[in-house]
Structure 1
Amino acid sequence: MRWLIVASCAAAAVHGSPVAAQAYRDVAPQPAPQSPRSAQSKPQSQTQGDASKVAVERLAGLVFEPAGVPPTMPPAQQRIVANALPVLDAAFLQNFTADLDKPLTFGRLAEIRQAVIEHYRKAGKPLVDVYVPEQDVSSGVVRIDIAEFRLGRVRANGNRYFSSGLLEREMPLASNEPILQADVSLGLAVLNANPYRRVDAIFAPGEATNTTDVVLQTDDRLPVRANVGYDNEGVPSLGRDRLFAGLGYGNLFGLDQQIAYQFTASNDFVSGNPSIEGRPDRARFMAHAFSYVAPLPWLDSIEFFGVYAQSTPRLPDTYGQTGISAQFSVRYDWRLPSTGDWAQLVQFGYDFKRSNNDLEFGGFQVFNSNTHIHQFVAVYDISQQKDTGTAHAAATFVASPGGLDGDNSDTAFNTARQGATSRYTYVQLTGSDAFALGRGFTLAASGTFQWTPDTLLPSEEIGLGGETSVRGYDPYVMLGDRGWNVQTELRTPALAIGASAVLAQPFVFFDAGRVWTRIDQPAEYNPGMLASVGAGVRFRWSRFVDFRCTYAAPLRAATPDGSKAPMVMLYLSIGT
């Protein structure tokens, strides 16, 4: 039996999507880079001998049967039958009626066998042996046997930092049971959700007859990450230049649990601030963010993540106070069986958010009271691993019942934003994909659409500007209750720099977005549209250094008579 390799698939981290709350997304712990996907083995062509040689002078019938059962003849009224093989339905068998009463060549017989194998694969059963046993074909009836391989055992190989027992438990297969592609894909999605390893499933001959072992070929590394970095993606009032440092561990208690922490601060955390009477001597922006993911024995997982941020503009206390924002969120990830090559995930969750300001979203206000958000989240997420990356789409529904505590009221919300209510709903759709254009060039596109019948607080609005929406503008230079944005990139082939492991990939881009507010708001433009073009380059040295430089030119001013000056955007992360 040939060895087959099934490409692994990775689950998308849904809590990193925009709906997780923009404030958390901006300062979330940086994920550990994953190992590159291993190349899939190409099926080898089989030697078929003289395909034109006639095997049966006149085909009178075809009988498909499980291997090892006594042979039977087809009923007189049925010339093509499948006994005890429900996968081979009548519609499939109808494909071979044109072969009846004609010579059957060895080449055509091989095609019939291959068609059966492909049909089983489409039915989610990739491991079958289809063969023609020794038989007397003088009657013109040909018997084809089908052996469905069952699992011998699951065994891990190549792992150094994750125990074999842990990996084997996360592959949902049982000994002596059929091996279904959906189960293998689900297991790989769970195994590859941890970025500190890459797992492929290899099918190898088992010890017993008609059994197959599933070998979890693992490329793992020490599940620890420490990183530091810089970017200039902060809002102007809190300092564009930001520094961050993080720690992560990917096998907490030896149970495959992941935990990560990141501290983000404006650059005056190091350089210091000018002396301003009445202003606390602290950095303009500081945020502590964490995430924790725990897989469950039934292959689902639970996530906790949150952030605590302090915002202190360079203004005397007579003009404002320190802005405090906090969030705590929980998500339950329910993995569904794969549909073809697409991994499916349904997610349910809850967010609590507390804030007394709009500074993180480009505003200038610190309020004398807090707003509390209590909202519930439902997400349907699908993803597919491709040679060009991960194709991904998600639909999210968010609902807040309102009135769950004193600061979760219409009065508190209306103070923070005119017309905002504590009871609201909104829908958000996101998607991304990359397409190979030939000669190593790739076209990548991503987009977000949001709609709501309500007026939302800034943390729930869709924002334009910044690296993740429309480049060339300050983050959140425009906010809206409803809107969309699209990013497109044309990427060149990755270029190796000398004999080093450093790769550089230039790109050009076009971004655009448009937002609407449900009602007219003071100092907000309704509707507002942004668009930009530019070019950049990404540098990567293995998993250790990630650098991006982007030159972006706005095509429209963010405000009437505003500037359209180009912007250089930088990002650097150095880690283990």
Structure 2
Amino acid sequence: MNGNSLLPQTTIEKVVYPFLGPDRSFEDVDAVRGALEEAYAEAGYRTVAVNLPQQEVRGGVVQIEVVERPVGRLRVSGARYFSPERMKAAVPALAEGTVPHFPTVQQQLDRLRGNPDREFFQVLREGRSEDEVEVELKVKDRSPLHGTLSLNDRYSANTERLRSTVSLRYDNLWQREHGAGLTWITAPQSPADATVFVATYRLPFGGDRRVLALYAVHSESDVAALGGVGVIGNGDIFGARWALPLGGDASFWHSLTLGVDYKKFDETLNLLGADAVNTPIGYTPFLAEYSATRRDEPGFWQGTVALHFAPRGLLGNDEAEFADKRFNAKPNFVYLNTGIERQRRLPGGFGLNLSIDGQLADAPLISNEQYAAGGADTVRGYLEAEELGDRGVRGGIELSRPIGGVPGIDELIALSFVEGARLWTVDALPGQDDRLQLASAGVGLRLKLRKQLSTAVDFALPLTDASTTQAGDWRWLFALDYAF
């Protein structure tokens, strides 16, 4: 056997051995050739050919020729927004002159497919000579410039109802798939109630989807509270997140995220008939989060565990500032967030979503780090972050079903839900509730038009009293989003 450099000798011997011996026919020899080609294919080398050259068999010895056909040419076609040369470089297993190992090729192509702005398929054909192959990657890409316009009523107590969001991002800077984005969130009826600016920058590293994300947040608000107290809050956050995929396959994958923030908030309490009281604070918390997803036939499981902590005296974290912000609050705080979600398909086209999450802390936290309940993402029917607690748990059950056959509508889903939360305050002050509870039930609709315009509408009935919301006061929530 001549020309082999890919399979170990022991593998070849195992393939050939059953065909050795006296009284063999040409069919047996051809069967050896076919078995060897199959062995190469099973090992991932589908371009290898095994031939029987013309020969005169003497002494029972048959010559077999292996042609390990390399890639003679790699071509990328159809790319408009992404560099063909960089896509070639991202698939070194298809480099010209290399015999392709297709499991490795598939892994490298799957990494390329991780970008939603690009899809492609590979075409394998005979090369310019019979001893090589040609590979073409046919690409269908779209502009990496994206934007979102959103209008919703995710408002907090004592503010105007509407919130608007405008965001713009570009996901292929320098032809290296770096991403930069800007977001502006405001209360259009009264910008003083809430104005937030967010800038982000994302840097991918290597070929295993490691990502470093940098961001900055600036917020401005002048929110009038009850009882003649005005709260003026301006804050800045500068942070970084390092996302590390931990491997997996099509049915299970998990990752680790490490992060650090610097948070600085200037807050002033204006009491009628008294001088203003300033309670600024600056501190540096850290984050370590593990997340995992498992897919199965009816749906998927998803879970997260996140540890938040801050050491005393590092870039702020001043004990006096924490004491001014809240009684008994410490700058060296630690708390844990965790959550699990289950989505699955049910008979009759129904879908079920179960979720539970919570926070555990052993000491009082300042309001910026407390667990918030109420609003569109937690317990519908209540205002956004209507209640806060040092510890908390929230759960929800949602049953949904698509409604088909509606002209002009790409997707229409009807749903019903039950949600609830319980919060605990550590070292509550006299007259302050140390336990709070929220619960609601309701129905909703999700609508999508032309894959760009989507609408969400919910009607929720609060079942318990809260700081602002009374039990039995129906509240409807909406969100209108346009994305390109």
TM-score interval, smaller chain: 0.7 to 0.9
TM-superposition CA deviations, 1:444-468 (whole Å, max 9, x none):
2333222222322222222111111
Q: Which one-letter code corresponds to 1:439 in the other structure?
A: G
Task: Work out whether residues 325 and 353 of structure 1, in 8 Å CA contact, stay in contact via their aligned partners in 2.
Answer: yes
Q: Distance in 1 between matches of 2:160 and 2:457?
A: 19
Contact 1:396–1:429 at 8 Å: present in 2 too?
Answer: yes
Counterparts of 1:403 and 1:395 in 2: how far apart (Å)? Answer: 26
**Deviates further, 172-181 or 254-263:** 172-181
Partner of 2:218: 308
Contact conserved, 2:401 with 2:415, CA < 8 A, in 1?
A: yes
Identity of aligned residues (%): 21
User: 1:521 & 1:557 partners in 2: Cα distance?
Assistant: 20
Letter in 1 for 2:185: T
Q: How does 1:538-557 map to 2 (within 5 A)?
A: 538-557=446-465
Per the alignment, residue 525 of structure 1 pairs with 433
Q: 1:461 to 1:151 in 2, by over 3 A?
A: farther
Alpha-carbon displacement from aligned partner over 1:475-534 (angstroms, at most 9, x marks no partner): 112212222212322111253531x35321111112122222222246753222222111
Q: How far off its partner does 1:535 sit?
A: 0.8
Gaps of 5+ in 2: 1-8, 20-34, 53-65, 270-275
More deviation, 207-216/526-535: 207-216
Change (3 A) 1:552 1:419: same
**Corresponding residue number in structure 1 for 2:16:** 71
Q: Distance in 1 between matches of 2:308 and 2:235?
A: 20
2:160 equivalent in structure 1: 239
1:511 pairs with 419, 422, 426, which one? 419
Partner secondary structure for residue 320 of structure 2: helix
* Residues matched between the structures, number: 436
Tell me: CA distance 1:211–1:288, structure 2 relative to 1, closer, same or farther (3 Å).
farther
> Are residues 1:442 and 2:351 paired?
yes
> Is 2:146 the counterpart of 1:225?
yes
Is this contact kept in 2: 1:259–1:291, CA < 8 A?
A: yes
Aligned residues of 1:544 and 1:574 also touching (Cα < 8 A): yes
Tell me the equivalent position of 2:235: 325
Q: Do the aligned residues in 2 keep the contact of 1:384 with 1:391 (CA within 8 Å)?
A: yes
Native 8 Å contact 2:383 2:469 kept in 1 = no
Shift of 1:435: 0.5
Query: Which residue of structure 2 lines up, in the alignment, with residue 266 of structure 1?
Result: 187
5 Å matches for 1:275-290?
283-290=192-199
- Tell me which residue corresponds to 2:312: 402
Map Cα deviations across residues 113-167 of structure 1 (whole Å, 9 max, x no partner).
9xx99xx8xxxx88889xxx99xxxxxxxxxxxx9x9995976565432223333
2:87 to 167, 178, 181: 167
Q: In structure 2, what residue type is equivalent to 1:475?
A: E
Letter of the structure 2 residue corresponding to residue 162 of structure 1: F
- Give matches, 1:83-482, under 5 Å: 158-171=78-91, 173=93, 175-176=98-99, 178-180=101-103, 184=106, 188=110, 191-192=113-114, 194-195=115-116, 197-199=117-119, 218-269=139-190, 283-299=192-208, 300-314=210-224, 319-320=229-230, 322-339=232-249, 341-357=251-267, 368-384=278-294, 391-405=301-315, 407-482=316-391
Alpha-carbon distance in structure 1 between the residues aligned to 2:285 and 2:450? 40
- Aligned partners of 1:539 and 1:547 also within 8 Å: yes
Comparing 153-162 with 408-417, greater Cα deviation is found at 153-162
Compared with structure 1, are the counterparts of its residues 462 and 225 closer, same or farther at alpha carbon in structure 2 (3 Å cutoff)? same
- 1:367 is displaced (CA, Å) by 5.3
| Inter-partner Cα distance in structure 2 for 1:560 and 1:312 | 19
Match of 1:26 in 2: none
Q: Distance in 2 between matches of 1:428 and 1:71?
A: 59
Closer, same or farther in 2 for the Cα pair 1:413/1:217, shift >3 Å?
A: farther
Q: Which has the higher contact order (CA 8 A, sep 6+)?
A: 1
TM-score normalised over the length of structure 1? 0.65
Deviation at 1:67, TM superposition (A): 5.0
**TM-score where L is the length of structure 2:** 0.76
Given that 2:231 and 2:268 are in contact with CA atoms closer than 8 Å, whether structure 1 keeps it comes out as no
- Structure 1's unaligned 5+ residue stretches are 1-63, 75-112, 135-146, 270-281, 360-365
**Residues 44 and 101, structure 2, Cα contact 8 Å, conserved in 1:** no
1:66 aligned counterpart, secondary structure:
helix
2:466 is matched with which residue? 558
Q: How big is the alpha-carbon RMSD for the aligned residues of Structure 1 and Structure 2?
A: 4.3
3-state DSSP class of the match of 1:415? helix
Q: Greater CA deviation, 427-436 or 152-161?
A: 152-161
Which deviations, in whole Å up to 9, do the C-alpha atoms of 1:248-300 show, x marking residues without a partner?
Answer: 2121222211122111111224xxxxxxxxxxxx5221111122211123542
